[in-house]
Amino acid sequence: MTVVQNGTTNGSASSAPTKPAGLDASKLKITLSQNLKPIPPPETLIFGQTTTDHMVFVEYDPVNGWSAPEIKPYGPLNLDPMSSCFQYCPNVFEGMKAYIGPDGKPRLFRPEMNMARMKRSADRVSLPVFDTEELLKIIKRFIEVEARWIPKAKGHSLYIRPTIIGTRASLGVGPSNHAILYVVVSPAGPYFKTGSRAVSLLAVTEHVRAWPGGTGGYKLSLNYAPTFMPQQAAAQKGYDQVLWILGEDKHVTEVGAMNFFVVVKRDDGDLDVLTPPLDGTILPGLTRDSVLKLTAAHPSRTSLPNLPNSLKLYPHEQLLTMSQIIEWSKQGRLLEAFGVGTAVVVVGVGKIGFEGQDIILPQHEGGLGPVSRALYERIVDIQEGKVEWEHWSVPCDEQ
């Protein structure tokens, strides 16, 4: 690793590579900003709007491969107007978070899953190959550099956005053999500003977020822009988010940019916790996976907060249709619905608008029902290092 201070370096020049170089964390150069920004109060934070002092930057070209990665002062990118990222959207990103643990050290939540998903997404749009272990080493060092930006208030974190964009300067339609990999971070509070109430959803059938054989199962920039107009239309009708419906059977896929769950009472009094399967239209979310694993572990291997050990939870990945949800609601068996994702963690659903009618969910103080609240509290405690579970919380100084 090379550290640069005031324009000087303790590294040495390297000879031109004989073959394209792989991403290599040992070549990391650090140039620290001489003008650090003030840290805003946690209560003023709006998701994704606060920039920090530094960023990660690496370039790829087909002759030299990946350049030496840099941590340098935050600033704009210099891109050719014909870059592929502007024309054909070979752009991939991840969403991660950093927290300060009880030991005062920064830590990440299940970061190896983010790296694996980022590689799958990059492969899907034919971006240059990179080593996920090396990228994670770079991100960990970056978080140590920016550790002062991690909010210590409960429910707050430092949001991490690793991004790869295709930068081939050509209008020809084809894969980009040039790329920039960069990472920015932003201190974040609660994602939704709905306070203690649950969000409302409008189920839409005239637009789809993803389709079988498409790219819904990958975290690609191109998946997001088409959702903006339906979201605006839902907001004009008084709903917070869109519930994406697909197919003649009107089955649920996702909610907004989150995975969707319902809690249904069984005949024996225990609870089914249901989410749509990963059929290619569903993003394989880390929080989704964490919810499934934690519900499966209660009460045999762990006790979720404020849920009795006599209550058994049965997680299922299965098709959920709107007719099922309506029927469960009429029967009084639909106890909770909630969305999960990195940015929001867990958010409750209060009502679902569908074909001119509202499905009203049981109302809970704070917007979360017993199961969703227990999952939120346990996941946040694991993220912050207050509860140890399956090595999900990884200190940044751990290599």
CATH number of the structural domain spanning residue 315? 3.20.10.10
Three-state secondary structure readout of 315-381: EEECCCEHHHHHHHHHHCCEEEEEEEECCCEEEEEEEEEECCEEEECCCCHHHCCHHHHHHHHHHHH
Q: Are residues 62 and 138 in the same domain?
A: yes
* pTM of the entire predicted model: 0.93
State residue 154's pLDDT score.
Answer: 82
Same domain? For 149 and 170 the reply is yes
- What is the predicted pLDDT for the residue at 6? 44
Instruction: State whether 274 and 370 are in the same domain.
Output: yes
| Judgement on whether residues 25 and 98 belong to the same structural domain of the protein | yes
Number of domain units in the chain = 2
Give φ, ψ of 393 to 5 degrees: -100, 115
State the DSSP H helix or E strand holding residue 262, giving kind and residue range, or none if neither.
strand 258-265
98 closest CA partner among 139, 49, 57, 37 = 139
Q: Environment class of residue 333 by beta-carbon count within 10 Å: exposed (0-12), middle (13-18) or buried (19+)? A: middle
Q: Are residues 148 and 293 in the same domain?
A: no
Q: Is residue 351 part of a domain?
A: yes
| Residues 234 and 115 placed together within one structural domain of the fold | no
- Tokens linked to 397: 């100084």
Rounded to 10 degrees, the C-alpha dihedral 5/6/9/15 comes to: 130
Q: Is residue 390 part of a domain?
A: no
Q: Is residue 248 domain-shared with residue 346, that is, in the same domain?
A: yes
Q: How far apart are CA 283 and CA 294, in angstroms?
A: 19
Domain that residue 239 falls in: 199-383
Give the CATH number of the domain where residue 127 resides: 3.30.470.10
Cα→Cα distances 285→116, 202, 226, 276, Å: 12, 22, 20, 12
In a domain, 388, yes or no: no
What is the distance between the alpha carbons of residues 164 and 90, in angstroms, rounded to a whole number? 8
Number of Cβ within a 10 Å radius of residue 321: 14
Residue 141 has a pLDDT of: 98
pLDDT tens for each residue of the chain, 399 residues long: 555 554 434 444 455 557 899 999 999 999 999 999 999 999 899 999 999 999 999 999 999 999 999 999 999 999 999 999 999 999 999 999 999 999 999 999 999 999 999 999 999 999 999 999 999 999 999 999 999 999 998 889 999 999 999 999 999 999 999 999 999 999 998 887 666 689 999 999 999 999 999 999 999 999 999 999 999 999 999 999 999 999 999 999 999 999 999 999 999 999 999 999 999 999 999 999 999 999 999 999 999 999 999 999 999 999 999 999 999 999 999 999 999 999 999 999 999 999 999 999 999 999 999 999 999 999 999 999 999 999 999 999 987
Supply the DSSP symbol for 132.
H
Are residue 176 and residue 293 in the same domain, yes or no? no
Please name the residues in contact with 206: beta carbons below 8 A apart, sequence gap of 6 or more: none
The pLDDT assigned to 196 comes to 67
